[in-house]
Structure 1
Amino acid sequence: MNHITCVFHLAVEPDHLGEFKSLINDIVEDARRETGTVIYEYSINAADETEIHIVERYQADAVLPHINETFAPYAQRFLALAQIKALYVYGETTLDIRNKLDDFGAVYLTPLVGLHN
């Protein structure tokens, strides 16, 4: 089965962190109900809580529904609170997926060698 993994690097201003945490709790709850979402987690740097990474892993056919249905209602508030510094996308992506993720400055990496269980 083809999986797509996205790793976002975000910057969040300290005065926006409380509102951002509240917002992402709502997004995670909605993502929890998605079929085809394997991993969807946020991590924050411990030093000053200004850098956040999101690790998302989907069955390939679940990427667009996540963006278009789950994330879309939150996108404007999310992007007002956090700046996307980088996005790395791993896996065999389709043109439709790339067209959506290009808006976030995605860098695409295709599988070379490895395994997962």
Structure 2
Amino acid sequence: MTDHVYWILELDVNEGQMANMKALMADMVAATSQDEPGALDYQWSLTADEKTCHIFERYKNSAATLVHMGNFGSKFAGTFMKVFTPKKFTLYGSPTPDVMAALGPMGPVEMSSIGGFTR
């Protein structure tokens, strides 16, 4: 078991927002890469019809997760919610109560680890 916190966020790309989505993604990937050393994975994927986006994020621990959430809230949340309609948020790992409270408005489904390993 690790202290990692990770999730998959499934989003619908709102009608007419593809150009804005691509610009937002570029900005968010650059900011996360540059400003958040605790971000271990930050991957965006898009269906062929460009209607559904998945974002896979993995953080070293809850502290790194909270850094990301603070940056997201202060820099990107408003634009994000114009570009996307969240559909499903699946949370994994070992989030602290602070992370759970901060994620609460997103309505994550928490999946408890029952086996496996991390290298």
Indicate the TM-score class for this superposition, using the shorter chain for normalisation: over 0.9
- Secondary structure in 1 matching 2:116: coil
Report the TM-score when normalising by structure 1: 0.93
Normalising by structure 2, report the TM-score: 0.92
The reply on whether 1:62 has 2:64 as its aligned counterpart is yes
Seq. identity, %: 30
1:6 aligns with 2:7: yes
Give secondary structure in 2 for the equivalent of 1:53.
strand
TM-superposed deviation, 1:13: 2.5
Could you tell me which amino acid in structure 2 is paired with residue 49 of structure 1? E
The residue that corresponds to 2:16 in the other structure is 15
Measured on the aligned residues, the alpha-carbon RMSD in Å equals 1.0
Query: Residue type of the partner of 1:2?
Result: D
Alignment-derived partner of residue 45 in structure 1: 47
Unaligned runs of 5+ residues in structure 2 are none
Q: How many residues align?
A: 115
Residue of structure 2 equivalent to 1:111: 113
User: Can you give the 5+ residue segments of structure 1 that lack an aligned partner in the other structure?
Assistant: none
Counterpart contact for 2:13–2:51, Cα < 8 Å? yes
Corresponding letter in the other structure for 2:13: V
CA–CA separation in structure 2 for the residues paired with 1:13 and 1:83: 7
